[in-house]
């Protein structure tokens, strides 16, 4: 079957500049392309050719200085070409692209709360739901949000959790990870420290400031702890804004070392998980379900996360991590970090169980197989 995957207008595929959706698409392509003729449409990039075929997948990258320009360029490419057009995270585009490809079937992959009234009005939301053959959502939180607003969508909604590459993310106890751990820690001057790790964009809604506030208490009680932020304000850039500068000022007040790596590509990030002892996700907003949870579990780290949006759906408290309900309370977060520091064997076992969960449930092959089952139903 000829299938088009329509990426959002933000970043290109492969994810040379990062992006959760872009990483998701790259992860599933090797499996989907075994059975179907796949074309991926994404944003034009100076680092990638406008068109290419690689590993049996066709890539088309179109200009898009604005969302409107990007969408119009997509319309020129898709008419009469595809049996199925699978749109990522843009329900409004289903309606618009349908006019350009009325003979194609459509489906939708939801990675955020895109059916909220501020994103799409009720009339067009219903049009989209009626037009698609199925909708996938990255968490129960996202799926239930759609069904609450539009009960008729229930029969088309499918929760398809994301995943991680278990070959790319090495468990911290493995020989290869231990070598990486020693080398990277040495490079950052963290040889003698236990490292609390944060991976993600530096934004208020991601809660980096809450973590810094919590680490003051942690570092005062445990002088051998360090904090590492892997990421930057925005994809592909190390430009700082007022919030990032505030984080840097907070870091200067802490007793122990705080490292800001700046932007790293998705191909550099996996090795950095190996230096961690504890992983933290401190989302302050209703996060759909941050993909860093899968990455941290794949790396064999115990996870501390906030009970916001869908984050807690993949964490069983005391089994593979800890969940914080009082999500904006630095003292509670400090207590959770301290607990894992004081119980290293329990922390290690949480990491082991997390890695096992990823191997069993959260691989890209499983994600792709769920999609392939849905594709089969419309052939």
Is pLDDT at 80 greater than 90 in this prediction? no
User: What does the pLDDT look like over 132-145, one tens digit per residue?
Assistant: 999 999 999 999 99
Question: pLDDT of 95-126, one tens digit each?
Answer: 999 999 999 999 999 999 999 999 999 999 99
Q: Which residue carries 């207590």 as its tokens?
A: 335
Burial 272-287 (b: 16+ CB within 10 A, else e): bbbbbbbbbbbbbeeb
For residue 234, the model assigns a pLDDT of 84
Give yes or no: residues 23 and 154 share one domain. Answer: yes
Residue reference for tokens 């941290």: 296
The pLDDT tens digits of the residues spanning 307-324 come to 999 999 999 999 999 999
Express each pLDDT in 191-238 by its tens digit. 999 999 999 999 999 999 999 999 999 999 999 999 999 999 988 888
Considering the domain architecture, whether residues 352 and 367 belong to the same structural domain is answered as no
Number of separate domains in the chain:
2
Whether the Cβ atoms of residue 71 and residue 77 lie closer than 8 Å to each other: no
| CB contact at 8 A, 251 and 258 | yes
* 157 and 40 in a common domain: yes
Examine the domain organization and report whether 248 and 140 are in the same domain.
no
Evaluate whether residue 297 is within a structural domain. yes
- Determine, yes or no, domain membership for 168: no
* DSSP state, residue 164: B
Q: What is the mean pLDDT of the chain?
A: 97
Burial degree of 224 (CB within 10 A; 0-12, 13-18, 19+): exposed
Q: Are residues 288 and 142 located together in one domain of the fold?
A: no
Which pLDDT value is given to residue 320? 98
Q: What's CA 268's distance to the chain center, in Å? A: 15
Residue 24 within any structural domain of the chain = yes
Residue 170 falls inside a structural domain: no
Judge contact between 146 and 137, C-beta under 8 A: yes
Within 13 Å and on the Cβ side, how many CA atoms surround 16? 11
pLDDT of residue 379 exceeding 90, the answer is no
What are the beta bridge partners of residue 202?
Answer: none
Residues 198 and 320 occupy one common structural domain: yes
Residues 352 and 372 in one domain: no
Q: Are residues 262 and 372 in the same domain?
A: no
Q: Do 146 and 205 fall within a single domain?
A: no
Q: In the structure encoding, which two tokens stand for residue 221, read together?
A: 């009680």
Percentage of residues in the chain having pLDDT higher than 70: 100
What is the residue range of 332's domain?
A: 175-361
- Find all residues with CB under 8 Å of 315, minimum gap 6, and list them: 293, 303, 305, 321, 322, 323
Whole-number pLDDT of residue 348: 98
Residue 327 and residue 186 in one domain:
yes
Quote the pLDDT of residue 237.
Answer: 82
Name the band, by pLDDT with cuts 50, 70 and 90, for residue 79. confident
pLDDT tens for each residue of 351-360: 999 999 999 9
Closest C-alpha among 284, 278, 262, 270 to residue 203? 284
Q: What is the CATH number of the domain that holds 44?
A: 3.40.50.2000
């Amino acid at each position: 079957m000829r299938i088009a995957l329509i990426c959002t207008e933000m970043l290109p595929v492969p994810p040379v500049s990062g992006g959760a959706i872009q990483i998701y698409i790259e992860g599933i392509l090797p499996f989907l392309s075994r059975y179907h003729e796949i074309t991926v449409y994404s944003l034009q990039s100076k680092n990638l050719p406008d068109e290419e075929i690689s590993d049996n997948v066709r890539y088309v990258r179109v200009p898009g200085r604005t969302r409107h320009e990007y969408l119009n360029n997509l319309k020129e490419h898709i008419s009469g070409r595809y049996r199925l057009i699978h749109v990522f995270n843009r329900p409004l585009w289903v309606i618009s692209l349908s006019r350009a490809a009325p003979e194609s079937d459509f489906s939708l992959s939801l990675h955020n709360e895109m059916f909220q009234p501020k994103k799409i009005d009720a009339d067009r939301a219903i049009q989209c739901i009626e037009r698609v053959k199925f909708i996938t959502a990255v968490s129960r939180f996202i799926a239930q949000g759609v069904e609450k607003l539009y009960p008729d969508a229930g029969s088309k909604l499918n929760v398809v959790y994301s995943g991680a590459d278990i070959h790319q993310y090495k468990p911290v106890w493995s020989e290869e990870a231990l070598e990486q751990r020693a080398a990277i820690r040495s490079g950052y001057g963290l040889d003698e420290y236990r490292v609390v790790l944060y991976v993600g964009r530096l934004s208020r809604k991601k809660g980096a400031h809450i973590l810094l506030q919590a680490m003051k208490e942690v570092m005062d009680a445990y002088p051998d702890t360090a904090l590492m932020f892997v990421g930057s304000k925005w994809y592909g850039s190390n430009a700082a804004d007022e919030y990032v500068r505030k984080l840097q000022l907070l870091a200067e007040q802490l007793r122990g070392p705080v490292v800001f790596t700046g932007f790293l590509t998705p191909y550099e990030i996996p090795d950095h998980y190996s230096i961690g002892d504890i992983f933290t996700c401190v989302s302050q907003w209703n996060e759909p379900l941050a993909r860093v949870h899968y990455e941290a579990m794949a790396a064999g780290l115990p996870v501390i996360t906030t009970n916001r949006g869908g984050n807690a759906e993949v964490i069983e408290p005391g089994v593979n991590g800890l969940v914080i309900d009082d999500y904006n309370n630095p003292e509670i977060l400090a207590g959770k970090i301290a607990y894992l520091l004081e119980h290293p064997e329990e922390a290690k076992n949480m990491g082991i169980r997390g890695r096992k969960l990823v191997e069993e449930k959260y691989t890209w092959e499983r994600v792709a197989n769920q999609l392939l089952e849905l594709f089969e139903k419309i052939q």
